[in-house]
Amino acid sequence: MRVSIIVAVAKNGVIGRKNNLVWRLRDDMKFFSDTTRGHTVITGRKNYESIPEKYRPLPNRSNIVVTRNTDFVAPGSHVVHSLAAAMEYAADIGTAEAFIIGGGEIYRQALERLNVERVLLTHVNAEPEGDTFFELDSVATGWHRTSLGEFRADDRNEHGFEIVEYSRVDS
């Protein structure tokens, strides 16, 4: 099973504030939706709860929610209590590719504990205030960078951005 991270990150490393996105990037959301559709997505509880209720669980995907709260219920999703349990469940259901979709703590754990093969990183041309970060240094070395497209700020996208695929370089 391939493990990928998909994340949008501002120049200052911010990915969110008060459990919400800090920008409107419709073309990046389309990329996220198109890329993860038909696959498994793994998310932390807070990130899951930040998704508008009408979109939960994310449609046309197997949704796995990681939480330490043993009473947490997420209808239509599979709830586990560790990232390792999420990976085990994804493997058990025959997932070809699992996407780690946030939040900050789940991203950190994935980079530290899993064999993440690629990171689909949207570099957002903004420096918003935030309280949740993605460590860009984590993908600065040991990865091959391929640009997948650049988008200008317009009526669909609040900021310009570039979507980049970082693939792990074999040692």
CATH number at residue 56: 3.40.430.10
Q: What is the pLDDT of residues 72-111, one digit of tens each?
A: 999 999 999 999 999 999 999 999 999 999 999 999 999 9
Count of domains for the chain:
1
For 71, the domain range is 2-168
pTM comes to: 0.94
Give pLDDT, residue 136: 57
CA 38 to chain CA centroid, Å, is: 15
Structure tokens at 73: 């219920």
Alpha-carbon gap, residue 14 to 125, rounded angstroms: 11
Give pLDDT, residue 142: 81
* Alpha-helix runs per DSSP H in the chain: 26-36, 45-50, 83-92, 104-113
Element (H, E) at 13: none
Is the pLDDT reported for residue 137 higher than 70?
A: no
Mean of pLDDT values over 12-38:
96
| Of 152 and 144, the one with more pLDDT | 152
Which residue do the tokens 């990976």 mark?
Answer: 87
Collect all residues with Cβ–Cβ distance below 8 Å to 83 and sequence separation of at least 6: 42, 66, 106, 109, 110, 113, 114
Q: What percent of the chain has pLDDT over 90?
A: 90
Alpha-carbon gap, residue 137 to 119, rounded angstroms: 12
